[in-house]
Each structure stands twice: as C-alpha cells, then as structure tokens.
Amino acid sequence: MILFFKRLNIIIALTFIFISLGLIKFKNNLAYLKTENFNVDAIVVLTGGKGERIIEGYNQIEKSYEKKLFISGVDDTFNSEVVLVNILNFDKAIVECCIEVGYLSKNTYENALETRYWALEKKMNSILLITSNLHMQRAHFLFDQLSGVRVIPYAISSENEIIPLEEMIEEYIKLLISKIVFIKKYEI
C-alpha cells in the first residue's frame, strides 16, 4: 500500500510539473501571436473585448485579396449598420460591400465551423484570424482543425494589459481540453 501512495505522489508531482511548464510556455507564447506580413483572402474577427478586434479587422480589410471582413460570434441583437457605421464610424460603403456578420456561433468551436461555411461559400482559402492574445492559441488550434482554410494568427493585446492568473489558467485548460478532444477524435 505504501508503494502505491509513493507512485501516486510521483504521478501527481509529474502531472503538476507538466501542467506548470505548459502554462509557462502558454504565457510565453502570448507575445508571439501577431503577424505583420500576411497574404490572405479575408479577415475573420472573433467577437469580444471592447470592439478593438473589430476595429483592427476593419483596419486590415485593404490588406486582404478579397477585401472581406467576417465577424463571427455576434449576438443576435447586434445591428451591424448601427454599430459599425454610427458607433464605430466605419465607412458605410465599406460596411455594405465588405463586412459580413455571423450570428450562429456561441463559442470558439462554433466560430471555426461558422467560418468554415462562410469561407466555403465565398471560396476563401486563407484568413487572418483576429482575437485576443489570451484566446489566440486555442482559437488558432481549433480553426486549424475545423475551418478548412489556411489560418494566420493576429492577436490583439494591450501593452499594459495584465492578464489575471485565473484567466490564463482557465484558457490554458480549455486549450488542453481542445487538444485532447482532437487527439481522441483522430485515434483509430
């Protein structure tokens, strides 16, 4: 019985070390998730934050081949013309020609699927994915697995932003769970 508890303690200690090292790697990767040079068909923005992601997506439209922006995960009360034109002061002609809004997704997994259907319909092969730096590792992983397009990450962060430890741990655990689900999915 003592041997069992020793082995259990070793397993718990190794698990704790593995998770701690993974969390450190996760934190260190937050700063490296923004691409300055990209060649993509369209821009995809995942909602959240205070609108800075949508504003950044709007600012990047001209750099995409198709001059398209898709905003995924929008609440069904969102009126795109009112918010984009009247509140964010986007050019109405650009909003009408170049920005589409997806109302179907409620989480990152669904964002990737919603984007997949949009990209297939629009014949897009590559996207610039814009979300927060904390969310990007999981979003990029899920989009790589599900979207069917080449995904270039573009993380939005504030230089002075301090991410609470509990939020970082929560997002890291969500990333681990996502990876475990896909490992299990493709197991024979």
What residue ranges do the domains of the chain occupy? 29-185
Q: How confident is the model at residue 119 (pLDDT cuts 50, 70, 90)?
A: very high
Please provide the CATH number assigned to the domain covering 29-185.
3.40.50.620
Which has the higher per-residue pLDDT, 53 or 160?
53
pLDDT for 117 beyond 80: yes
Confirm if 34 and 155 have CB atoms less than 8 A apart.
yes
Main-chain phi, psi angles of 100, to 5 degrees: -120, 150
pLDDT per residue over 147-167, tens digit each? Answer: 889 999 998 876 667 788 888
Q: For the chain, give the percent of residues with pLDDT over 70.
A: 92
What is residue 174's three-state secondary structure? helix
pLDDT per residue over 129-149, tens digit each? Answer: 999 888 999 999 999 999 889
pLDDT per residue over 65-74, tens digit each? Answer: 899 999 998 8
- Which DSSP helix (H) or strand (E) runs through 156? strand 150-156
